[in-house]
Amino acid sequence: MASSHSSSGDVRDTRDQQGSHPPPTSNTAAGNSQEVIAFSTIVLNYVLPQVVKDLEAQDVGPAQAFADSLRKAEAEVPGIAFQIVSSILESQSPKLNVIEHLLKLTGSSAGPDSYLESQGGYYAELEQHAHEVKKILSSLPEIVLDRSRFLDNIKKIALHLKNYLAALVHIAKELEQKYPQNTAIQRSLQYRRQEFSRASRHFSEQLKVYFQDNSKAQNIYPSALALIASNIQFSHKLKDMLLQLNGVNASRATSRGRDG
């Protein structure tokens, strides 16, 4: 989480004392680490929709069936979507930095749907700040060598993250007041907040490494990608939660109507 920022680019929430995950040592990191799973989130939300669109435009086979298969495989083996796609990209362009490529791609693709924005209020505010964070992070490879612009954008990221968390606090309070008996909501929100805090802290740590040694700019990209993925994961979870709650409420209203 990010409640403050400084000239060193620290966007860490010091209240979160949980550990962070080291960046992959290569494009296709071995195993199913949390970051590789995060990268799969990017693949499924930014790469896969474009691939399906391109294949359908070319009338190349059952594009949607391919997408469904990849999503199913990811559900069975978390991280496999990134490993498959990164292997394909590396085979086509051996010198391609897959992580950097995916990071840039998030800035030019629409990504997840706009359900939360359509809910208005703090939900829309949450998504707006998440979008701004994504947009700035995706531009880091283009500005990382311009120290002045880079610092300015890091400060903007910190501010958007601070506002993102403020919106999240309001949402949590609203849901707690509306569903006081549903403790699962608060547990789920707290867990996602911790995951987001961990991703934010890791990004902050990699910034510090970069400021100590500017030759390590690419070390920032995996943590930036993981931070975007954390936002996506939270948005999906919140959307599913709202849809489920709305479904329960609709069911109860129907039942009351029948009883009346």
DSSP at 110:
-
- Domains of the chain, by residue range, sit at 33-96, 99-112+120-255
Distances (CA, A) of 135 to 69, 90, 129, 130, 156: 29, 25, 10, 9, 11
CA 112/CA 108 separation, integer angstroms:
13
Task: Say what the pLDDT of residue 249 is.
Answer: 56
**Cα 236 → chain centroid:** 10
Does the domain at 99-112+120-255 match CATH 1.20.120.330? Answer given as: yes
Q: Which of 153, 148, 192 is nearest to 171 (CA)?
A: 192
CA 166/CA 187 separation, integer angstroms:
18
Q: Tell if the pTM clears 0.75, that is, is over it.
A: yes
Rounded mean pLDDT of the chain? 81
238 HSE (CA, 13 A, CB side):
27
Task: Say what the pLDDT of residue 94 is.
Answer: 87
Is 98 in contact with 42 (CB distance < 8 Å)? no
Is 220 in contact with 202 (CB distance < 8 Å)? no
Task: Say what the pLDDT of residue 70 is.
Answer: 92
Task: Say what the pLDDT of residue 20 is.
Answer: 38
CA 155/CA 62 separation, integer angstroms:
45
Q: What is the pLDDT of residues 41-87, one digit of tens each?
A: 999 988 888 888 877 787 766 778 888 999 999 999 999 999 999 99
Task: Say what the pLDDT of residue 83 is.
Answer: 92
Exposed e or buried b per residue across 107-142, where buried means at least 16 C-beta atoms within 10 angstroms of its C-beta: beeebbeebbbebeebbebbbbbbbbbbbbbbbbbe
Q: Which of 39, 152, 21 is nearest to 105 (CA)?
A: 39
CA 60/CA 240 separation, integer angstroms:
32
Q: What are phi and psi of 17, to 5 degrees?
A: -100, 10
Percent of the chain with pLDDT over 70: 80
3-state secondary structure (DSSP) of residue 50: helix
Task: Say what the pLDDT of residue 25 is.
Answer: 37
Chunked into runs of 10 residues, the chain (260 residues) has average pLDDT values of: 39 36 40 79 88 77 84 94 91 90 84 82 93 94 90 95 92 89 85 87 91 84 93 90 77 49
3-state secondary structure (DSSP) of residue 60: coil
Task: Say what the pLDDT of residue 218 is.
Answer: 82
